[in-house]
Amino acid sequence: MNSNKSKRGRAAPGEVYAVIKRIAAENGRDFVWHYVLAAAFLAAIAGTTAFTAWIMRDVIDEIFYRQRADLIVLISLSIAAAFVLRGIATYGQAVILAKVGNNLVARYQRRLFDHLMKLDMEFFSTTRSGQVAAQINENVSGIRSILNITVTSIARDFVSLIGLVGVMVFQDPILSLFALLIGPPLVFFVSHLMRRLRRLNHDAILVNSRLIGAMQEAIQGMAIVKAFTMEDQLSGKMHDLVADSEARSNKIARVSERLSPISEMLGGFVFAAVIGYAGYRATFGAQPPGTIVAFLTALILAYDPARRLARTQVGLERALVNARMIYEVLDTVPRQEDAADAGQLEVGKGDIRFDSVSFRYGPEAPVLHDLSFLAPGGKTTAIVGASGAGKSTLIALLQRFYDVSGGLIEIDGQDISTVTKRSLRQQIAYVSQHPFLFEGSIGDNIRYGRPDATDTEVEAAARQAFADDFIREQPKGYDTPVGESGATLSGGQRQRISIARALVRNAPILLLDEATSALDNESEARVQAALATATKGRTTIVIAHRLSTVINADHIVVLDHGRLVEEGTHAGLMADPNSIYARFHNLHDEAGLGLLDDTAETALEEAQRAGAAAGS
């Protein structure tokens, strides 16, 4: 996402044109007639502006100087008609450009979200979610701004300027030469200004996205903030970010607004020269004032579109930075694509085989080393090991959140890297140790497991997860909103909804990553009974912190630092008193612990060290 281009914050000379061309190629066909009509309205605005300057000569010379009464009505009506046309055109172009702009924003928001859904877990594990959301929200308007600025600059300001300059040249070529002297120095100054604004705009956008992302994360983690009295720390961090954002915004204002005094001074010199020369001719040449008034009117009216055109580059630079950062996300290629000939996963018995599997996260040390075992179809396999042993990594690899570094994983003899990720994950129901609920009602969150599930099936899954009773006690039952990330529910309630979501999926493979860790003993006993029913006939892999789960598993795999050290049934492993599992179980049992928590994991590590010493 952070390309060399974005790090530099500088655009290549033709990049504005390249970005406009890309946006037009992607959207132009859908909006071409909208922009044509908007351009026609803008051209009408430009035409009426030029007409207003041109008609001033007749107003002064014919009505006030020669006192032509027969022209008063005609000239007055033509001026009124010009302003009526201008008003209609102004409204029409504003509505059309707003409608197209809003549609473009919505279109790119949909594209961005759809693309984010296609990216692999590596992208999200290395990118702060709050910053990504803030950056997208900040930058998506850049697409609309580029097109709107381009259309209004060309169709309104440029055409207006050309028309008014034409009026000036027609009225007095010599005076026009004085007026056009403002052009070269203004173009030079704008070009110099843009080189500084590119970098400043890019840095400011990044800082603002960090600021909004930090605010979002602080609000989401407010319970932790208050529990650890982190208010002062986070306030200090936020104040630094706000101060940085304010300083950068002020610097952008100082740099970009330098255009105003320069253009005002240049404009003042031109006006002074024109009035001086015109006054001299009027005084000593007895020239009628109409031509001079029309010329000055055109010059005054031309000043605004000229100034807007000069500032157009300022607006384009910021919009360009926004658009580039959006395209950096859209151009991020998923590293984990389906194979070209990937087929659909067909699950029969449900045997899961890990064959010499190795894995590492990036260049860091390997997490799994040459790991091989079979999780029998229709049976429950428990994964046991201390923290960092690689238990959760196994489940992530089975769902192809990441691809193995070596070896392969098979389901019923099918290498999961040769089937589509979607067909693989549709055959799996997953319960995380950290239950996550989405915006919506309780019923919606359960139905995410299977969108076509009926209300009856949703309620049956909730009953199986022992969630139906507390759901019906909620103000609106299954239609009760869950609040942000389920904030209105307890940890145990969120976990039971998460389990119900997995159960309603009715998939042949069930993955439980410490699925009962958030439950109290009573709820845990009920859910264990529910899971015992739910796992029948399904291939289940469970990472367990509960002794009961481990003991009742059909197969137990013991991991140590990414290596398989033992496997078998509870009885078989306990038959060897020197086995790591037996030592761990005995230490754990003597401590009277019901959970495989941090204390239990310490006991497991001690058992592993004791086993290693006995072996030596």
Lowest mean pLDDT among 122-136, 241-255, 427-441, 472-486: 122-136
Same domain, 412 and 268: no
* Residue 379 in tokens: 């049976």
Do residues 158 and 166 touch, judged by C-beta distance below 8 A? no
pLDDT at 354: 94
Do residues 503 and 449 touch, judged by C-beta distance below 8 A? yes
Residue 609 lies in a domain: no
Lowest mean pLDDT among 371-385, 534-548, 598-612: 598-612
Query: Looking at this protein, which amino acid is placed at residue 150?
Result: T
Same domain, 364 and 293: no
Percent pLDDT > 90 in the chain is 14
Q: 113-151: per-residue pLDDT in tens?
A: 888 888 877 777 777 666 677 667 667 777 777 777 777
Same domain, 203 and 307: yes
Q: How many domains does the chain have?
A: 2
Provide the CATH number for the domain around residue 263. 1.20.1560.10
Q: Tell me the pLDDT band of 9, cut-offs 50, 70 and 90.
A: very low
Residue 342 lies in a domain: no
- Residues 599-610 have a mean pLDDT of 49
**Where is the domain boundary, 330, 364, 397?**
330
Q: Would the pLDDT of 303 be above 90? A: no
Residue 341 lies in a domain: no
Same domain, 108 and 52: yes
pTM: 0.67
Residue with tokens 């984990």: 336
Q: Would the pLDDT of 282 be above 80? A: no
Do residues 371 and 158 touch, judged by C-beta distance below 8 A? no
Do residues 150 and 38 touch, judged by C-beta distance below 8 A? no
Provide the CATH number for the domain around residue 508. 3.40.50.300
Residue 595 lies in a domain: no
* Residue 360 in tokens: 């590492």
Same domain, 293 and 360: no
Residue 3 lies in a domain: no
SS (H, E, C) 395-421: HHHHCCCCCCCEEEEEECCEEHHHECH
Same domain, 439 and 483: yes
- Cα of 76 vs its chain's centroid, Å: 55
Segments forming the whole domain that contains residue 307: 14-330
Same domain, 504 and 558: yes
Q: Would the pLDDT of 181 be above 70? A: no
- As a whole number, the mean pLDDT across the chain is 78
Residue 339 lies in a domain: no
Same domain, 508 and 464: yes
Element of type H or E holding 545: none
Residue with more model confidence, 553 or 606: 553
> For residue 482, what are the contacts with CB-CB under 8 A and spacing of at least 6?
437, 438, 439, 440, 441, 442, 445, 488, 489, 497
Between strands 555-560 and 563-568, the pairing is antiparallel
Q: What Cα–Cα distance (Å) separates residue 233 from each residue in 209, 228, 237, 239, 240?
A: 20, 10, 6, 10, 11
Name the percent of the chain in helix, strand, coil, to the closest 5.
65, 10, 25
Q: 515-563: per-residue pLDDT in tens?
A: 766 566 776 776 677 677 778 788 999 987 666 678 888 999 998 888 8
Q: Would the pLDDT of 616 be above 60? A: no
Same domain, 318 and 454: no
pLDDT at 409: 94
Residue with more model confidence, 175 or 429: 429
Residue 600 lies in a domain: no
Same domain, 305 and 425: no
Same domain, 296 and 422: no
Q: Would the pLDDT of 600 be above 50? A: no
| Helix 141-152 / helix 15-58 crossing angle, nearest 10 deg | 40
Percent pLDDT > 70 in the chain is 77
pLDDT at 228: 63
- Residues 366-391 have a mean pLDDT of 88
**Where is the domain boundary, 528, 548, 569?**
569
Residue 597 lies in a domain: no
Residue with tokens 């410490």: 514
* Residue 7 in tokens: 């790090």
Do residues 549 and 542 touch, judged by C-beta distance below 8 A? yes
d(CA 343, CA 339): 9
Same domain, 166 and 119: yes
pLDDT at 11: 47
Q: Would the pLDDT of 603 be above 60? A: no
